[in-house]
């Protein structure tokens, strides 16, 4: 990458957004939930194609099993590591693929609650969620291309809520990072249910009120 682009990127990205698990869903810790967190604020010198989460919590129901694959992130070649460990882009966009393993269960709905903390010029967004069809284990079907709802809370925080049906037992969550943007933290919660879950206690007006 060109040295000038690196210098511009670092200047625009300082100071970084304060990373925080700022709005967990009410159903965190319920049966058949998974919470996974990546903090891109510490020095990282490992494999960018296999970044382990900083925190992983799973709560079962005593009946169903958790999948046997490993939860990890795959960082594209245009995402770089700052001196403080933050993941950032320069003059080209980047992508991080977050792979989550969930509970293997027969329920109809998978809910994703995604908190993104970032800084810089752009807003990282989830471009797509891809999971195997529970009936056929075919990865080409289904593909979920847009969130059920989302909000840009302030210049450093975004929340996306996705509902997947049918309910895969593992999924890739692709996050696009625009040029000159830092990804400080991502927290992803999932739950399997027979019916849609309520998010009334986290209405978007309430979310905005928290950050005034």
**Quick check: is 155 in a domain?**
yes
The predicted structure's pLDDT at residue 141: 66
The predicted structure's pLDDT at residue 197: 63
Name the token pair of 40: 């891109």
What are the pLDDT digits (tens) for 131-188? 888 888 888 666 777 788 899 989 999 999 999 988 999 999 999 999 999 999 999 9
**Quick check: is 209 in a domain?**
no
Exposed (0-12), middle (13-18) or buried (19+): which is 106, by Cβ within 10 Å?
exposed
**Quick check: is 205 in a domain?**
no
**Quick check: is 87 in a domain?**
yes
Q: Which domain holds residue 94?
A: 3-14+26-196
The predicted structure's pLDDT at residue 148: 87
**Quick check: is 206 in a domain?**
no
Q: In which residue are the tokens 């079907």 written?
A: 141
- Of 46-55, 126-135, 192-201, give the lowest mean pLDDT range: 192-201
The predicted structure's pLDDT at residue 85: 64
**Quick check: is 211 in a domain?**
no
**Quick check: is 151 in a domain?**
yes
Beta carbons within 8 Å of 196's beta carbon, 6+ residues apart: 109, 111, 163
Does 6 have pLDDT greater than 60? no
**Quick check: is 174 in a domain?**
yes
CATH code, 187: 2.60.120
The DSSP annotation for 144-192 comes to E-S-SEEEEEETTEEEEEEEESS--SEEEEEEEE-TTEEEEEEEEEEEE
What dihedral do alpha carbons 26, 29, 31, 36 form, nearest 10°? 100
Q: Does residue 198 or residue 131 have the better pLDDT?
A: 131
Tell me how crowded residue 10 is: count the other CB atoms within 10 A of its CB: 17
What dihedral do alpha carbons 38, 176, 130, 105 form, nearest 10°? 30
Tell me which range, 4-8, 85-89, 154-158, is most confidently predicted by mean pLDDT.
Answer: 154-158
Tell me how crowded residue 191 is: count the other CB atoms within 10 A of its CB: 25
The number of folded domains in the chain is 1
Q: Cα–Cα distance between 30 and 27 in angstroms, integer?
A: 5
Q: Does residue 88 contact residue 13 with C-beta atoms inside 8 Å?
A: yes
Helices (H), the chain: 3-12, 204-210
Beta carbons within 8 Å of 120's beta carbon, 6+ residues apart: 9, 12, 13, 88, 89, 178, 180, 181, 182
């Amino acid at each position: 990458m060109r040295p000038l682009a690196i210098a511009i990127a670092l200047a625009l990205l300082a100071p970084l957004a304060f990373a925080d698990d700022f709005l967990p869903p009410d159903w965190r810790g319920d049966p058949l939930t998974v919470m996974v967190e990546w903090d891109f604020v510490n020095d990282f010198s490992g494999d960018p194609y296999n970044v382990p989460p900083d925190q992983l919590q799973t709560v079962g129901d005593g009946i169903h099993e958790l999948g046997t694959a490993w939860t990890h992130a795959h960082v594209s070649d245009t995402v770089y590591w700052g001196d403080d460990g933050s993941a950032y882009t320069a003059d080209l966009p980047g992508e991080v693929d977050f792979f989550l393993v969930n509970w293997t269960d027969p329920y109809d709905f998978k809910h994703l609650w995604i908190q993104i903390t970032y800084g810089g010029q752009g807003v990282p967004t989830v471009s797509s969620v891809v999971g195997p069809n529970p009936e056929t284990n075919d990865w080409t079907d289904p593909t979920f291309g847009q969130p059920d709802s989302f909000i840009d809370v302030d210049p450093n925080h975004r929340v996306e809520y996705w509902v997947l049906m049918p309910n895969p037992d593992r999924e890739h969550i692709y996050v696009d990072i625009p040029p000159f943007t830092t990804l400080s933290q991502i927290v992803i919660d999932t739950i399997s249910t027979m019916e849609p879950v309520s998010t009334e206690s986290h209405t978007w007006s309430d979310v905005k009120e928290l950050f005034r």
